[in-house]
Amino acid sequence: MIKKDKTYSEIKLKYHIKAKKKIRYDLQCSSCKKRNITLGSRCIDRKGKINYFCEDCTIYFYKQDNKFRTLKAAASRRRRIFDVAYLFEEILMDKYTKNKNYNSVNDLSGEEFQRFLNTAHDLYNTLFTKEEKVALEEVIEQKDIEKKISKKLKGIEF
């Protein structure tokens, strides 16, 4: 079986908008049993219990499930899932601040910012099918990803 070993360049983000809330509990990884982990993923088992996994274990599972040859290749590909979505938010944010005549992202109130994130999240899921997201994540050059996103956003009032 062919194993994937392509590594993806890191997406450079301007604002580092992260919708992910920091979880402050003492979480234990269900796989390696490490405590106080940074949450990598979670899943609900058949009994309805939530299992939490640390980042290292999450990347390991991702590598196995998707037949990557190295952890590095798996990590870089998995990173893309999040970073391409963040990149979408940033491009949308530029459009939004321009429309509102704001000088920067700092001009948004906390409430407006949260509203923006929610809308951006919905819009990303509306504009791109699952297959289109995968295709976008697989694009090598960041500027080509940006071009594809901008093209989708053309004509959308925000």
- The residue count for binding Zn ion (CB under 5 A) is 5
CB 123 within 8 A of CB 133: no
Here the tokens at position 120 are: 């951006």
The residues with which 41 forms a beta bridge, in sequence order, are: 53
Among 6, 9, 10, 32, binds Zn ion (CB under 5 A): 32
Among 29, 91, 120, 145, binds Zn ion (CB under 5 A): 29
73 touching Zn ion, by CB under 5 A:
no
27 touching Zn ion, by CB under 5 A:
no
Among 54, 87, 92, 145, binds Zn ion (CB under 5 A): 54
The residues with which 50 forms a beta bridge, in sequence order, are: 44
How far apart CA 45 and CA 130 sit, in angstroms, is: 24
59 touching Zn ion, by CB under 5 A:
no
41 touching Zn ion, by CB under 5 A:
no
Taking 3-state DSSP, the helix, strand and coil percentages for the chain, each rounded to the nearest 5, stand at: 50, 10, 40
Among 17, 27, 57, 74, binds Zn ion (CB under 5 A): 57
Residue 21, CB-side half-sphere exposure with 13 Å CA sphere: 4
| Contact residues: Zn ion, CB under 5 A | 29, 31-32, 54, 57
